[in-house]
Amino acid sequence: MRAHLGDQLVIESPATGGARRDGEIVGLHHADGTPPYDVRWSDTDEVTMVFPGPDAHVRHLEHPSAAPVPSREDVESVGGTSGTPRPDRAPSPGDIGRRVAAERERQGLTRATVAGRAAMAPQYLAYLEERPADPSLGTLTRLAGALGTSVEALRGGGVDLPSGQGQALLHPELRELGAEECRALLSTHGVGRVAVTTPDGPAVLPVNYEVAGDEIAFRTAPGSVPAAAVGSEVAFEVDHLDETAGEGWSVLAVGPARHVTGTDAVRRLADGAHTEPWAGGEREMWVSIRPERLTGRRIGPAPQ
């Protein structure tokens, strides 16, 4: 039997239909990953040293088979637990790890501080933040308590709710953005909203867009609602909200829209496009907006 930090040790009940026990392996005593292990049990949240018997098996995370396993002497112990991220591959955090790291950084907390509050080693917290992992309910409960949030939030509960329902900053500051910053933010996005006037009234639709020099361009189909932008003054908006940090920004461009018809110009736009239109279908009509007014706003923490 061999294991890595973060794997799950499962003890099957010898009785048919009996309850099994499981827990996270948070400490290793041998560099080759053989027993014994320090296990944090999911039912009691206690850490004990375990010599697995024949009724036990390890449920592995995805680990490269040739990866070295750190020994117990290579890690620090906090509150009776130990752990360290394995350096065998480039970090690829999972969703839970990203949420933990984002909330910790939003509060300005170090890994050592959060790990101490959650009674785990900073190295094990680094492992959770930097690698795909499926921590136990007990681990999530302690992390949620250390961060002043909920297990549901760390698991992504509410991720499909409308934007803007996250917690607001205690001391927010709303400031205007300069033209250069607006242009820089425009170039970071691939989806924006174009506001046009149609025979049925005003309409706002999302479109995939590109920044080409001083213009904003998007593809659509002739006769579509976005195509109604051609020949009129339109508004184009992009924004970004960080629900975890309670921060965000928006940029608004206003100017005339035209149909791009030149063969060379169309080819350059098509060749430089970063993505195909998400709506699919035949969308070979390029519309270009030349901003005459470019404004933006950013909300973030007020200077202390």
Q: For residue 189, tell me if it sits in a domain.
A: yes
Domain containing 209 equals: 173-301
Residue 67, CA distances (Å) to 5, 85, 89, 123, 245 in order: 12, 12, 8, 17, 35
Q: Is the Cβ–Cβ distance between 164 and 241 less than 8 Å?
A: yes
Residues 8 and 150 placed together within one structural domain of the fold: yes
Residues 63 and 180 placed together within one structural domain of the fold: no
Cα gap 150→143, rounded to integer Å: 9
Residues 105 and 191 placed together within one structural domain of the fold: no
Q: Of 160, 191, 207, which residue sits at a domain end?
A: 160
Cα gap 31→2, rounded to integer Å: 10
Number of domains composing the chain: 2
pTM beyond 0.85, yes or no: no
Cα gap 169→215, rounded to integer Å: 34
The pLDDT assigned to 187 comes to: 86
Q: Is the Cβ–Cβ distance between 3 and 37 less than 8 Å?
A: yes
The pLDDT assigned to 70 comes to: 38
Q: Which strand (E) or helix (H) includes residue 28?
A: strand 21-28
The pLDDT assigned to 90 comes to: 41
Residues 133 and 177 placed together within one structural domain of the fold: no
Q: Is the Cβ–Cβ distance between 166 and 243 less than 8 Å?
A: yes
Along the chain (304 residues), what's the average pLDDT of each consecutive run of 10 residues? 86 66 84 85 80 85 43 34 36 73 87 91 85 79 89 72 66 91 87 92 93 91 92 94 78 96 89 80 89 94 79
- HSE-CB at 265 with a 13 A cutoff on CA atoms is 15
Residues 129 and 249 placed together within one structural domain of the fold: no
- Residue 128 belongs to domain with CATH number: 1.10.260.40
- Residue 249 belongs to domain with CATH number: 2.30.110.10
Cβ neighbours of residue 292 closer than 8 Å, sequence gap 6 or more: 254, 255, 256
